[in-house]
Each structure stands twice: as structure tokens, then as C-alpha cells.
Structure 1
């Protein structure tokens, strides 16, 4: 697809009305029946349809049994009553098995469909660092993790129930309207001396009543959709606030920010309450419609069949059969009444899932709409790193770095420095491929193994061994190699805890987490290492110990690091200084004269 076509598609997406989102969600989710798992999807769908057919057959059999039983009771036919009594347990068992089978089939389909969609969205979100870029480029898409974990469930599970309910209701309505038409027969009326015959009057009455009740339910429930959407959004924001508080608990506790955080939490919850009150009001209106309908449904068929029963045209068994059939038709047609609240909740969750899908889809083409330039990434032909006319910008277009023309030979150790706010970390993220906004070119060696070391290394859940080996693709690392790297990085005292599983992200100090990142570097042996304040939590002696790795164990690696602490220059060959200017920070470089710091013995460091 060319850029003009992509731009047209993006523009169309931007102007798409919100009411179409649930359709877009369905288009995305229905891929379950067309992809690799289509065979499983269709098998489960067929099983659900079979169970629905068995369930309808059981209902029709019980309806017919009602007529025979009450006819035998009216005529005091003991033999017929005995056969009906014997047959009843079999009919009940058939109905129970059909209902149980439908439940199991439906829940299995829900589970497998949710599994497929979760894998698709989670994979999409985690691929190509979209989880990172989404926070920058589409910050309005709050709580993507909530949308994947919860909204997918709330969008998929009810949809299966709706489909099963709709098919069951449709089949039930058609079958029992047929019974009303044939068993109820025609109604003869004398109006002003004229004889009027109404064929199948009970069938018509059931459909007309259901249409009126369904219309009232629709108009009563329609305003509920935006009310539910607002409540779900408020709930997601409230959850996000609590999660943020938990993640920053230590910082908040140290500065005694409890009162401010409580005020913020309660303010967010008040938004939830306000949205909830709107939903409660709409639910009250719907409950009124449901209550009136529930009171009328059992009485209307009795009133309609009473004239024919009193004239002897209908037996007691026929009256009971027709009454049960009329109620069954209403239950089928009132499916929308009974599910109007859930339909509204489903649409709200489906909209939120589609918003996430749209945001993920538009990440790579947003630049076309915004008419901004992106940094061009390419492959160098001389195994060195080239920055050619590189300009790095914020997403709003403001240039933070301009005029960068730098060549970084293989094995060179480059220190990036400059005043706060000149874009040092942004430059590092651009080199790591995480920041595309700007212009110019970044050329990297072909198939180079690049490692990025942030200021706060990530520690996953699990054992300490898993934390040390996180993101390392080489699975042939022996215990001796791991233990040696840990001792080399001053973490030897943790070797005995390697196979212990606990919250290491909370147990390890900031300095220990940074040492863990250097353990990974020793085991991974990357060709290019990009660091952002990677030693900020270490004391000076520990920093010297870690930086000496680049002159010894990792001497052949190209290193690009951001740092401002004393002693950093002694372990780098060149220094790039970002200087603040009106048009954006510019880069100057100079070679560094090595001191004797790196010759100090650090054998006593732990």
C-alpha cells in the first residue's frame, strides 16, 4: 500500500464515528473463525448448535406432555396419567443434558475465543516495543493492560452468550408461534351482526405483544450504552491511579505524600460514583419495563383463550399447552429486554478493545497524518555507527537535538554528556530504535547484537536465576558462567539464592539491580552497548569496578553511555557534549585523556 492510500485510511480512521467501533471489534474478533484456530472454532460452534437443537426438542416435548397430562387429568384417564408420569423423568433428563451440554459448549467456546484474542492483542502490544511507543504516541489510551486482561473478557464472553441466546430465542419463537397458530386455531367474533374470523390469532397476539414490549425495552435501554461506557472508563482510570500509587509507594512514603494521594484517589473515585449513579438511574427505568412485562405475560394468554375454553372449543390440556407456548414466545422475544443492560456493557467493552486495536494499528503510520519526519534507520557498510544530519524531536515537533554528524568506530567507548534537558536520554532512545521522531539517519552495523541498559533495569517475577538471565537468548549458559559473572559484578553473596522465587524487583536495591544489568552484559557479550545513567545508583568504587568491564571483559564492544558522574570520562575514548541552543541542542565532541583510575585494584569490592 502506498503512502497516499495509507494516509487516506488513517484519515478515515480518525473521523470514524464512535458508534461503529463495536462493528470494528466484531471484524477483529471474528478472525477466530478464519485463522489458524478456525477448525477448533467451527467444531465448538457446531457443538453449541447441536446442543441448542436438543434443548429446543426437549422444550417442545415437555410442551406436548403438558397437553396430554392435563387432558388425561380432565378426563380422569388413569392409564394416560400413568404413562405421562412415567415419561416425565425421561423428558426432564433430556432437557437437563441438553442444557448442561449447551452450558459446557458455550463456556468452552468463550474460553478458547478469549484465549485467541488475548494472544493476538498481547502479541500485537508487545511486538516492536509498541507497549513503549503507545505510552508516548497515544497516551490517551489509558490502561492497555486492563483492556487486554478485562475488556477482552467482557467483550468476548457476553458475545457468545448473546449469539447462543439469540439462536435459542429465534428457534424457540418460531417453534412455539407455530404451536399457537395450529393448536389455538381461529377466533370467531360477532361485531354488530357481522361474523369476523381471526386465523392463528394467538400467534399474532404473541408477536404483537412481544414487539411492543421489545420496543419499549429498546428505548428504555438505549441511553444506558453511554452511561456504561462512562462508568467503565472511570473504573479504568481509578484502577490506573491505584496502580500508579502502588508502583511509587516508597517515594510517596518518604516524602509523606499520603494526604495528597488520598485526596487524588477519592477524587477519582467520585468520578466513578457519578458515572455509576447515571447507570443506576437508567437501570431503574429498565427494571420498571421488565417488572410490568413479567406481571402481564402469564395473564394475557389466559384471557385470550378463555372464550374458546368456555365454549368447549379447547380442552384444559390445550389451554395449558397454549399458555406455556405463549410464555415461551415472550421469553424468546424478551431476550433483548432481559439482556439490554449486558448489551450496553458489552458495547462499552468492545469499544474500549477497538480503541486499543486502533491505537496499536496507527502507531506506525501516525507520522503520515501529522506530516512529520521520522528518523531513518539503515545499515552501515563499514561496521561502524553513523549519525548523519541527525535531528531528534519531541512528538510535538520541537527539536531537542540538531546537527549531529558522528562516526563511532567499532570498539570505541563514547560518553554523552550535557546539561539537563538537552536530550541525552532521548538521543540514547533514538539510537536504541525506541524514539522515531526527528530526521536524518542512524546507520548501524548489519546484524549487530545491541544491548540497552536503562537506569532502572527490569527485574521479572520468578527466581533470581531468571532475573539474571532475563532477555538472554543463549540458553547454554552454565552455572559456573553465571556464578562467575555474578562474583565479577559484586553479587557473589547472592549465588546461594539463585533458585529462590520471590519479588526480587522489591528485594534488590537500586545498586544491585544495576549490577544485575552488568551480569547480563557479561553473559550476553553484545557488540554494541547503549547505557542511560546505568551506574547512577552505585558508589564511586562500585562504578569503577563496573566500568572496568569495558576495558577488560567487554573490551571489544562499542559503548555509548549517558552519564554525568565523576570518573565516567576515565573509561571512555570520546565525549559528546550536548550544548543548548535556540534551534535545539548541538553536539560537539572531543577525545578524552585517560587517567590512572582504571588501574586501581578492586578485588575487595563485593
Structure 2
């Protein structure tokens, strides 16, 4: 077997394995019986449509023979028969469509829930972003880009294409099995003489249909295969364009303040030019395929008449049998041409399957990543031989031993970029590029530099991630008042985009209000008051200190402002090591 053909067969086998790996979980899930019942019903309806096509083929002969013979009795009888055949066909076609759409919808819902669960579990959504930037920095093109697009669009396309193409292939196979015998019996033999010998090819129309479709399938593949790569790339550039527009919306105020509209327009135009450029290449590839498939389809209309015409004009067959031959040939040719007719859909399905497979592989890789950091729950915070690195592998901190006990108030300081926030992420257990051992308090809350607030009622933003019903209105208003936001106390049910509506200082105070509402024992504050004036800063820090001390916990803060230092009795300082150890810092404990 030629090497190239072997490689193609291997690639096809790999693709089939990937498609089956994505398909199998749903039909083995807790919804398997409903899924299988729907699938069986759809298969039965497809078989019913094939059976109706056989009946219509038989009707063709009787109807057109009656026309040729001017037999009014048979004509009207067959017209009546057509009425109930058409009615039965319509019923089957409608329910086939309905149940197919229902299966696609249920399958999409299950897959979406499945991947949302995996994406949002064990900080996978965060780790995937870190891995993506790492792969990009290393020039690796396999980065799992745009998970939102994969979950929203790719799953929808995968379920739709899988069901439609599978049922189309089943329909083609069953139709071929049903009509190839009919066409064989109707087509007769093809007799010819060669070098004084007589030859007869039985079932000549069948052989012609197979030869016609085999040539068409081969040519279709070579003409249309560029679409596979172009479809894959089109989904990526469309998602990149959409993602950048979302970023402009999220950072609208910052962009407006910087007067960055022109820059963003250039960036959007650049991404959209990639969309248009790839789409133009895809259109050209589709145009080349349509040139061929249109010619192929139109030629197939007259091809059976050309081949069968000599027998008709010689009187060997009547008009009804000629029409029956044409109908049977059309069914056989249509079945054998499934690959030709479905090639564009197959190309899109292949691209979608590849993208979902790489998405699945990214989750698998996360699950098999070695766990280098040993974490346990404790009443205090303690690290042993803690090493923290960047996604690129650059070590920030090596062999750190830290200890903070209940009642402590620790200020973490160091140059910008030294890894203070990264150390906090390690304390939180979300930073995957760390090793060593860490014992940390379980009842702790982190206040990040950029707090997140979901769009919706203010009470949802304040109680996040808990349900707002967990707290009374009085508790919510008390937390807002203690965080110097009493004016928001009457807006608990007002829905808004709070990350955009509130100023930077108000957002920081709302994040502090969350802490005051939930009353954790330990608080980790990362530049949590950088947007506040000194008086407001002093007020909220006094409340935070009173909270953790009453709960027998501690507070650890990152801050550059000297006013924050007054609220802490202990310091951890990151100091850069001498030349020869780039980006490596040492951590020293000092008492104020």
C-alpha cells in the first residue's frame, strides 16, 4: 500500500476515534435511555423515508405508463394513491425533523453542562489561561484559545453535524441497498463486440452509477480539502474578533479616558481583516467545489436518460419504465454521491471536532499535571521550602519559610514585579507553578487588586459567590455602611454593571464590604485600599483588624503606601538577590 494512502487511512482512523470519544459520553450518561430512544426513533423514521422512496419509484412506472397508454382509470387511481403516499411522507418527514432537532438540543445541553462543569472546576478556567500565555510565549500554536467559543459555538456545531451527517450516511446506505437491486433489474445488460467476440455487461446502469460517483468523490476530495483547514481557522479568527470587542466593552471607561479609540479601531480592523481574509479564501475554496458539484449534479439529471434512451427508442421499454429507471438511478447516484454532497459539512465537522478534541486534551493535560505543592488546612499560615515561579519557568522565590499565627498583622512589601500577588495566589491554592509545602487557614478571604462583581442586583454582587438569600437586608446594609457605602443601602435590588458603574474607590470598598459581611478569620488584602483617601483607608483597616482579631485570625496585606504600614506589626520583605540570579528574590521577616 502506498505510503501516502497509509497516512491518509491513519489520519482518518485518528479522526474517527476522536469523533467517537466526543460522542460516546452522552449516550452513556444518565440521559442514555432518552438519548438512545430518540436515536432509534430517528433511525426508524429515516428507514421509513427510504421505504416511501421505494413506493414512489414503483408509482412512477404505473403513473407514466398510464399516461403513455392514455388509461384514465389507472391514471386517476394512481393519482389517488399518490395523495396518501404524499401524506404519509409528510408526516414522517415532519417528525423526523422534530425528533432530530430534539436530540441535537438535548445533546448540546448535556455537552454544554459537561464542559462548563469541567471548565469551572478546580480553577481549570484560570489554569487554561495561564497555560495559553505560556504556550504563546514558547511559540506553541496548540494553545486552547477562546473556551467561550468552543463551549457556545463548537458544541452546537458538533452535535448538529454529527447527527445530520450520521443520519445522512445511514439514509444513503439504506437507500443504496434498497434501490441497487431495482436498478440492476431495470437497467438490463449492455452488449458489445470486441475483436470478433460478443460481450454483455449485466446491470450496466449500476456500474455506470458507481463509476460516475467514484470519480466524483475523488475529485470532490481533492478540490474541497482546503476547506478543512480554512474552516478551523475561520472559527478561531471570528472568536478573536468577538473577544476583542468584549474587552473594549469591559474596559470602555479606561479606553475613553486614555482616548484610545483610534488604537482600538486599528486593533479591531486588524482582527476583522483576518476574518475577511480567511473568509475570502474559504469562499474561493467553496466556489471551486460548487463549480464541480453543480456540474456533477446537473449531469446526473440527464445521465440515466442518455444511457437508457436507446432501449426506449427501440421499444424495449416504455415511458413508465424509463422514468422508473431514472428515479432508481437518481436514488442510487444520490446515495453514492453522499460524500460529494456533504463535503462542505464534513469539512466544517472535521474542523469543529479538531477544536473540541484539543479543548478536551487541555483538560486531560491539567488533570495529569504533577502536583508539586502540598497544601493542608491549619489554624496558622506556614510554608516550608516554598518555591514560586512564573509560567515561563522563571523562579521568583526559592526555599521560602514563612509563618503567621492568629493575632498577627503582616505587611508584604517588595519592588513591583517581584511576585507579591503571585505569592498571594499561591497562598490561595490557585497558582500551579509552585512547589513545597504550605499549611493555610481554611476560613480565609482574599481581596484582589481587581475585584469581580457579577452584573445584576447589587445584593448579588455583595454576597457573591454565595446566594444573597443567605443574608438579611439588615446585614447587607450594615456591611455597606461599615465599608463607607451607606448610599448603596437602598439599591440592593437595583440591577447594573457594577464594575463599570462604580468608581475604583467604590469598587474597593464594595469588595471590603463583602469581607465585613462574611466575617472570615483570615483576610489577605492585595492593594485593597490603593484607591481610597487616607481617612477612608484608616477607617476600613480598623474595621478589618477588629474583625480578624475578634475571630482569632490574622490579616496579611500587600501595599506600597506607608499609611498602611501603621496597621501592621510584622513585615515580609522581598529583596532582589545579587546579579547572577535574575528575577530571584529572598523573603525576610521583620518586626515593626
Match of 1:395 in 2: 391
Conserved in 1, the CA contact under 8 Å of 2:426 and 2:434?
no
Match of 1:121 in 2: 115
Q: Give structure 2 stretches of 5+ with no counterpart.
A: 1-9, 134-142
TM (norm. structure 1) is 0.89
Q: Do the aligned partners of residues 450 and 474 (structure 1) sit closer, same or farther apart at CA in structure 2, a change above 3 Å counting?
A: farther
Counterpart of 2:559 (choices 558, 563, 567) is 563
Larger displacement relative to structure 2 (128-137 or 267-276)? 267-276
Measured after TM superposition, the shift of residue 191 of structure 1 is: 5.4
Conserved in 2, the CA contact under 8 Å of 1:399 and 1:438?
no
Distance 1:563 1:130 in 2: 29
Q: State yes or no: 1:167 paired with 2:170.
A: yes
Match of 2:544 in 1: 550
Counterpart of 2:45 (choices 43, 51, 71) is 51
Conserved in 2, the CA contact under 8 Å of 1:376 and 1:440?
yes
Written as runs of structure 1 = structure 2, the 5 A alignment for 1:177-326 is 177-189=180-192, 194-326=197-329
Measured after TM superposition, the shift of residue 25 of structure 1 is: 4.5
Distance 2:408 2:13 in 1: 56
Conserved in 1, the CA contact under 8 Å of 2:522 and 2:548?
no
Distance 2:359 2:19 in 1: 10
Written as runs of structure 1 = structure 2, the 5 A alignment for 1:327-406 is 327-366=330-369, 374-380=372-378, 383-406=379-402
Encode CA deviations 1:43-76: one digit per residue, 9 max, x unaligned: 1101111110121122111111111111111222
Measured after TM superposition, the shift of residue 408 of structure 1 is: 1.0
Match of 2:75 in 1: 81
Measured after TM superposition, the shift of residue 402 of structure 1 is: 2.9
Match of 1:490 in 2: 484
Match of 1:591 in 2: 591
TM (norm. structure 2) is 0.91
Distance 2:15 2:516 in 1: 49
Written as runs of structure 1 = structure 2, the 5 A alignment for 1:340-489 is 340-366=343-369, 374-380=372-378, 383-445=379-441, 448-472=442-466, 475-489=469-483
Distance 1:189 1:22 in 2: 44
Q: State yes or no: 1:575 paired with 2:578.
A: no
Q: State yes or no: 1:522 paired with 2:483.
A: no
Measured after TM superposition, the shift of residue 96 of structure 1 is: 1.1
Conserved in 1, the CA contact under 8 Å of 2:223 and 2:288?
yes
Conserved in 2, the CA contact under 8 Å of 1:25 and 1:353?
no
Query: Cα RMSD over matched residues?
Result: 2.2
Distance 2:495 2:181 in 1: 65
Encode CA deviations 1:325-376: one digit per residue, 9 max, x unaligned: 1112222222222221121122112211222221222124345xxxxx8332
Conserved in 2, the CA contact under 8 Å of 1:464 and 1:499?
yes
Measured after TM superposition, the shift of residue 34 of structure 1 is: 1.2
Distance 1:193 1:82 in 2: 51
- What SS is found at the alignment partner of 1:536? coil
Encode CA deviations 1:463-496: one digit per residue, 9 max, x unaligned: 1111111112685322221222222222221122
Match of 1:6 in 2: none
Distance 2:60 2:82 in 1: 10
Conserved in 2, the CA contact under 8 Å of 1:21 and 1:354?
no
Encode CA deviations 1:223-270: one digit per residue, 9 max, x unaligned: 221222233222222223323333322222222222222222222222
- What SS is found at the alignment partner of 2:562? coil
- What SS is found at the alignment partner of 1:377? strand
Measured after TM superposition, the shift of residue 30 of structure 1 is: 2.1
Measured after TM superposition, the shift of residue 107 of structure 1 is: 1.1
Larger displacement relative to structure 2 (256-265 or 351-360)? 256-265
Q: State yes or no: 1:67 paired with 2:61.
A: yes
Larger displacement relative to structure 2 (569-578 or 462-471)? 569-578
Match of 1:511 in 2: 505
